[in-house]
Each structure stands twice: as structure tokens, then as C-alpha cells.
Amino acid sequence: MGRVIIGLAIRKRRKELGLSQSELASRLGYKDHSTLAKVETGVNDITIDTLFKYAKALDISATDLLNHSLDEGEGIYRLDFDYLPTFPNIHDCKVERIIVGKDSFSLVFERGIARHDSVRFHHPRADSLEIEYHLTDEPELYLAKGRRIIPAPYETLKDLVNESLIYLCEYVGYKSVIIKLCGASLAILNLTVNQVDYRWIE
């Protein structure tokens, strides 16, 4: 298995549970946290038997831990598990195109996206990025008008790209993502989703 990917998944799950390395090492029966630190950073690989041991200590099934690690290595983030992924932080990047599909919604970002510090950290060789949200319900769009936030037809979202739309931030919940975009006005998207795909373009 990919030692770096599984190590990152273990570290992420540990942080989701609010455990220090020492606390998880204790659960695993280690004398100190040095072995765990080597696993989390990909220095040490683990066997399948050890994977089950880690999964039990992290209160997650080995299958979910492995699937989660493999998915995130491919840029796939599932929102229908008991724990939530952490998306790459791509704030302040310009949206060049919006694709509205029947069961999906995609944002295509500007060329040269890695010039932004937030992107360079996640994918330093990226030229662009497409994020696809797999929808399980009708999206909701809200626009700021003065001091009021009012609902707007979802289809009008494509028109906002002409306003030099900037991706501000997102809030991730169980099967949901709220996205804030800024153009001539603030746009807030409320999406019910079960998966989000990050496709980095080099």
C-alpha cells in the first residue's frame, strides 16, 4: 500500500478524534510516539495486520480507513462517512468556468493557479483545477443584495462567471458543502453532495 497516503489518512483520522501522537501511540501499545510519527510521515510502511490494529485504535473500519486514504490520494473526497475530509484550501482563486449538469456541478479555475500560496502548498505543479460536486439534491443559490441575502435561480450561477468570480471559502458538513463566491456581489451555494472530486491539471 502507498505508505505516504495511508500515513496521511492515519494522521488525519487521529486529528479528527482530537488525539495527540502520544495518546494514539498509547492506544497502539507503543512505548513512545516515534514509531507512529514514522508511519504518519511515510517513513515506515505497515502490514495489513497492523492496518487493522490502527483502524481499531482510531475507531474506524480498516476498509473505510484504506478506502479513505486511496480516495484522497486520487483527489476524491467522500462526505457520506462518519468523519469529514479536509479539502485543499484554494481561497482567492478565480473561477473561469461553471459547468451545471443534471447530477453534478463543476468549477473550473484559472490557469497558473499554483501562483497562489494556498494552492502551491497542495499541488505546486498545478496549472489549473476542476472541482466536481456530485449532487444528491437540487442546489440552492443565494445572492447578497445590499444587506439582504435572497434566493436566486440556480441556473443564473453561470452568468456570474462574467463578474470575475473569486472562490472565497467552503464549509464542509455531512453530505453538504456551502461555497462562498465573490463577484459583483456575494454568492452563496448550498450543495447536498456525497462526493467531491479535485482534478488537478498540470
- Which of the residue ranges 73-77, 80-84, 149-153 has the most confident prediction, judged by mean pLDDT? 149-153
pLDDT band at 73 (very low <50, low <70, confident <90, very high): low
pLDDT digits (tens, 9 = 90+) for 80-114: 766 677 788 888 999 999 888 889 989 999 999 99
Q: Is residue 70 domain-shared with residue 97, that is, in the same domain?
A: no
* Interior/surface letters 146-178, b for 16+ CB within 10 angstroms, e for the rest: eeeeeebeeeebeebbeeebebeebebeebbbe
pLDDT beyond 90 at 78: no
Q: Is residue 130 domain-shared with residue 196, that is, in the same domain?
A: yes
Cα separation, 199 vs 191, in Å, equals: 19
pLDDT digits (tens, 9 = 90+) for 185-196: 899 999 999 989
Q: Is residue 104 domain-shared with residue 173, that is, in the same domain?
A: yes
* CATH code, domain with 16: 1.10.260.40
Q: Is 102 helix (H, G, I), strand (E, B) or coil?
A: coil
- pTM summary value: 0.66
Give the structural domain span for 61. Answer: 3-74
pLDDT digits (tens, 9 = 90+) for 118-127: 888 777 888 9
Q: Of the candidates 28, 43, 74, which is a domain's last residue?
A: 74
Largest CA distance in the chain: 59
Quick check: is 83 in a domain?
no
Quick check: is 80 in a domain?
no
Cβ neighbours of residue 54 closer than 8 Å, sequence gap 6 or more: 10, 28, 39, 46, 62, 65
Q: Of the candidates 41, 74, 107, which is a domain's last residue?
A: 74
Q: Is residue 166 domain-shared with residue 101, that is, in the same domain?
A: yes
Tally of structural domains, the chain: 2
